[in-house]
Amino acid sequence: MQHCRTLLHAGVLITQDAQRRIIENGSLAIRQGMVVAVGTREALSAAWQAEQELDLGSMLVLPGLVNAHTHAAMTFLRGLADDMPLMDWLHQRIFPVEARLTPEIVRLGSLLGYAEMLRTGATACMDMYIFEEAVFEAARAAGLRCVGGEAVFAFPSAACAGPEAALKATRALAERCAGEERLSVAVNPHSVYTTTPEILTACRDLAEELGLPLHIHLSETREETELCLRKHGKRPVELCRDLGLLDLPCTLAHVVDVNEEELDMLARHKVVAAHNPSSNMKLGSGVAPLSSMLERGLVVGLGTDGPASNNQLNMFTEMGRAALLHKVAGHDPTLLPAARVLDMATLGGAAALHDARLGSLEPGKVADCVALDLASPNLQPLYNAVSQAVYAATGLETRMTMVGGEILYQDGRFSRFDYDALCREVSDLRSFALRAAGLAE
């Protein structure tokens, strides 16, 4: 008998391994936060002796979903600025409020965002915001995985006097997080329209020096492209290519307004695109050419974007919307099948976070998983587990969320923090946001 910390049993196990195995009456053996064996309950029970057994009955277990692009702290802005074009949304409502932020507001907003992610099956995310040390403090409290870094702008933010200070904060954050198993750092220039070529070059240099990935909003709207052409004589993808950003491990959020030549360029550079269908639809940004990306072998993750432009952080909702959006946009019901969408939310997300330990349940991967209650009326009857997860699940069927073999959420309870106390604190942020947006005195 081999020894492990936990044997987890479930009625159905979606592995997302190379064969995309789905195992009925499946089990995971977990040791030191890692998956060490996957198979049938009968086989693993015969081969492994566990300190504890976690029997989830008939539930469906799948890898933890990975949110490839978000601004988790923006929960405190949820519903404050709806039904507006992107640039108006940013400059009239979002930036004025963010100019008055404090680390404590960012910590509370982030913790609420992470509670929502854990409650709806996400175990890791790629984050971009200001006061990112406070974001990481919230991630530590919640227990999920986070890749983040201070957002870099050409102008001052509430956290940093300018781009040099933001890059200095990113360097310090990388030093403090060195050796942390669940937290890591990316260099986060916000976009080409809120920075300059000189700032983007400095971001590239810091990422190269420290061996960090780079994360940027890119080609989100036609207006962004037009601004870039007027200022630099180049489209955003070409500008980033010429500045060497695409030579780095790179995650590009949105990638909506791109042409065929640019898609070829992105595929050659092996960047990862983070697709955000809900945010793109809500802001009227357009439909990303996802089929063309995938045909070229471009790796694509799935993200929620921030809860001020979505307005949720629910990756199950995001999967369903992604699948339906591209079918109607392409007038083809065969586009983006459920299995491809689940790949984006798991393995594609792992690529977006540049973390090969994530995205599947197999030996050598981290024990990050989610359990859905198949007794939920909307999940009955079960013909195809992947289809059920993408088209029928809402995320609220999540009964358990585990990261590194540690249960962080189960049956309405968060193991690491007091959710009721958090809600009381967050309610106080409403009056601050209304005043800061000029909507109240």
Residues 119 and 70 reside in one and the same domain: yes
Q: Which residue has the tokens 């079918």?
A: 327
Residues 108 and 246 reside in one and the same domain: yes
Confidence of residue 36 (pLDDT cuts 50, 70, 90): very high
Q: What is the CATH number of the domain that holds 287?
A: 3.20.20.140
Residues 242 and 303 reside in one and the same domain: yes
pLDDT at 85 over 90: no
Q: 334 lies in a domain?
A: yes
Q: 306 lies in a domain?
A: yes
Overall number of domains in the chain: 2
Domain span holding position 398:
2-63+363-414
Q: What is the CATH number of the domain that holds 406?
A: 2.30.40.10
Cβ-defined contacts of 191-196 (< 8 Å, 24+): 191/216, 191/217, 191/218, 191/220, 191/224, 192/216, 192/218, 192/224, 192/228, 192/232, 192/236, 192/239, 192/240, 193/224, 193/227, 193/228, 194/153, 194/154, 194/155, 195/152, 195/153, 195/154, 195/163, 196/154
Alpha carbons 262 and 350: distance in angstroms, whole number: 23
Residues 341 and 377 reside in one and the same domain: no
Alpha carbons 170 and 148: distance in angstroms, whole number: 9
Span 121-161, pLDDT tens digits:
999 999 999 999 999 999 999 999 999 999 999 999 999 99
CA 252 to chain CA mean position, Å:
12
Residues 238 and 305 reside in one and the same domain: yes
Residues 126 and 40 reside in one and the same domain: no
Residues 167 and 303 reside in one and the same domain: yes
Sign of CA dihedral 209, 346, 255, 272: positive
Confidence of residue 440 (pLDDT cuts 50, 70, 90): confident
Q: Is the pTM of this model over 0.85?
A: yes
Q: 357 lies in a domain?
A: no
Span 329-353, pLDDT tens digits:
999 999 999 999 999 999 999 999 9
Residues 336 and 385 reside in one and the same domain: no
Residues 229 and 242 reside in one and the same domain: yes
Residues 144 and 169 reside in one and the same domain: yes
Alpha carbons 22 and 387: distance in angstroms, whole number: 12
Residues 74 and 203 reside in one and the same domain: yes
- The one-character DSSP state at 64 is P
Q: 438 lies in a domain?
A: no
pLDDT at 114: 98
Q: 440 lies in a domain?
A: no
Q: 436 lies in a domain?
A: no
Is there a contact between 235 and 228 (Cβ–Cβ < 8 Å)? yes
Q: 234 lies in a domain?
A: yes
Residues 340 and 385 reside in one and the same domain: no
Confidence of residue 427 (pLDDT cuts 50, 70, 90): confident
Confidence of residue 293 (pLDDT cuts 50, 70, 90): very high
Q: 295 lies in a domain?
A: yes
pLDDT at 347: 98
Structural domain ending residue among the three candidates 325, 352, 379: 352
What values do phi and psi take at 370, rounded to 5?
-135, 140
Cα-Cα end-to-end distance for the chain: 68
